Amino acid sequence: MITVRKSSDRGYADHGWLKSFHSFSFADYHDPQHMGFGDLRVINEDRIAPGTGFGTHGHRDMEIVSYVIAGELAHKDSMGNGQPGSAASGAGSSGVIRPGDVQRMSAGRGVRHSEFNHAPSDTTHFLQIWIEPAARDIDPGYEQKHFDAASKRGTLRLVASPDGREGSVTIHADASIYSGLFDGAQALRRELDPARKAYVHVVRGAVSVNGHPLHGGDALKLEHEAVLTIDDGVDAEVLVFDLH
């Protein structure tokens, strides 16, 4: 079964400094038909205005993945990751996330963190992804890795997995995340396990997934399907979730 979820059908919140689209129920947006998909609980597409951000706040028992599309996001947490000051303080700065980076924070039994856009004029555009963990009350943890564009062109690059294989970040959940870039003649066909679920989120551009034309912010849910196809991309970036 294939279900298309259009960008325009998502929840939306405008807080002035933060503009956010919610793929699933979150905060004041509640839709009982969209409470999550498998272990995938949240995909928020956030835009943070210059010089603003999320103040220090707490999480627990959730795998949180941040994926920057444009701009920079400075992270600081109670585990000692990150640092105060500008995200421009250095390309190797721990806790500063840029396009191509994938950050994983395991909230476990409890962690506090902040996220900030220190840029004077540029908006930070990123995806905040929450995945239900396989076990609760684990030690909090943090990991951040960069995946270059070349490794994602015309294919799906594993960026997060339960075992950290292929250089991906490790998430404590029965879920894997793949990132791909598709343009022109680039195409992919991949077999799926029909006993699992797959979720495709179009980050930007336009692309056809299993014959369905999609644009930035659109998503496709696949249940009991044996094949995933991606083609007809126009400057497209996609995330594919393999879910329990």
Are the beta carbons of 242 and 161 closer than 8 angstroms?
Answer: no
Distance between CA atoms of residues 139 and 172, nearest Å: 11
Provide the pairing of β-strand 197-209 with 227-243: antiparallel
Per the listing, tokens 């970036």 go with 237
**Mean pLDDT in each 10-residue stretch from start to end of the chain (244 residues)?**
97 97 96 96 98 94 97 92 51 73 95 94 97 96 96 98 97 98 97 98 98 98 98 98 96
Q: In whole angstroms, how far apart are CA 63 and each of 18, 32, 139, 173?
A: 22, 22, 12, 8
Residue 154, domain extent = 2-243
* Tokens, residue 131: 């995945």
| Residue 82, pLDDT score | 85
| Residue 90, pLDDT score | 37
Number of domains in the chain: 1
Q: What is the CATH number of the domain that holds 181?
A: 2.60.120.10
